[in-house]
Chain A
Amino acid sequence: DAEITQSPRHKITETGRQVTLACHQTWNHNNMFWYRQDLGHGLRLIHYSYGVHDTNKGEVSDGYSVSRSNTEDLPLTLESAASSQTSVYFCASSESKETQYFGPGTRLLVL
């Protein structure tokens, strides 16, 4: 069955380290999104991509980057992790004008 996966599911890192969160989907969707989920803020869009080699900044993109070298993957990189980036991160994918399908989430703790 087609699906969307994220790894790792849990990550503890130290301030200043570079961290990469993986997102992989097997639906062959063109659109992929990264969100962070925080109490009191709901889901906020970090970066998104509408296809290979396309990337766009979302609402809270500072300190994050993405690259899209193929259809299936959109890794999210925290260049220099900060405590404010402690959060739950969700990846999602969709076809044009269709609903988004979400991954299981990654819990990141930055100490």
Chain B
Amino acid sequence: AQRVTQPEKLLSVFKGAPVELKCNYSYSGSPELFWYVQYSRQRLQLLLRHISRESIKGFTADLNKGETSFHLKKPFAQEEDSAMYYCALMANRDDKIIFGKGTRLHILP
């Protein structure tokens, strides 16, 4: 069964400290992984996808197939990073996206 697990509901980090949002997935094939972000009272928007290998707003994520993980990292947190972050998986046989339950990131001043 396809599953995305985000073990932390809430993560509080001081401004300037490193950030790591954890994501593990369960899928037997070759999935495509995404991170979506939702700022307060705004719509969800794509932050990054693993095939793009981009760094968006200082965030990066590396797909580790051995550990079935796709953790989101940023070396120095900024206050504007406070938001809800969702890890998501797209199976290679259809276009549905399975979302994790989300992690709320709170950047402390």
Contacts and interface: CB of A to CB of B under 8 A. Distances in A.
A42 B46 contact: no
Given A41-B101, A42-B99, A99 B43 contact: no
11 contacts: A31-B95, A40-B9, A41-B101, A42-B102, A43-B44, A43-B86, A90-B43, A96-B95, A97-B95, A100-B46, A104-B43
Contacts, number: 43
Interface magnitude class on chain A:
20 to 34
Contacts of B49: 99
Interface of A: 31, 33, 35, 40-45, 48, 50, 58, 90, 92, 94, 96-97, 99-100, 102-105
Nearest to B32: A97
Contacts of B101: 40-42
Contacts of B100: 42
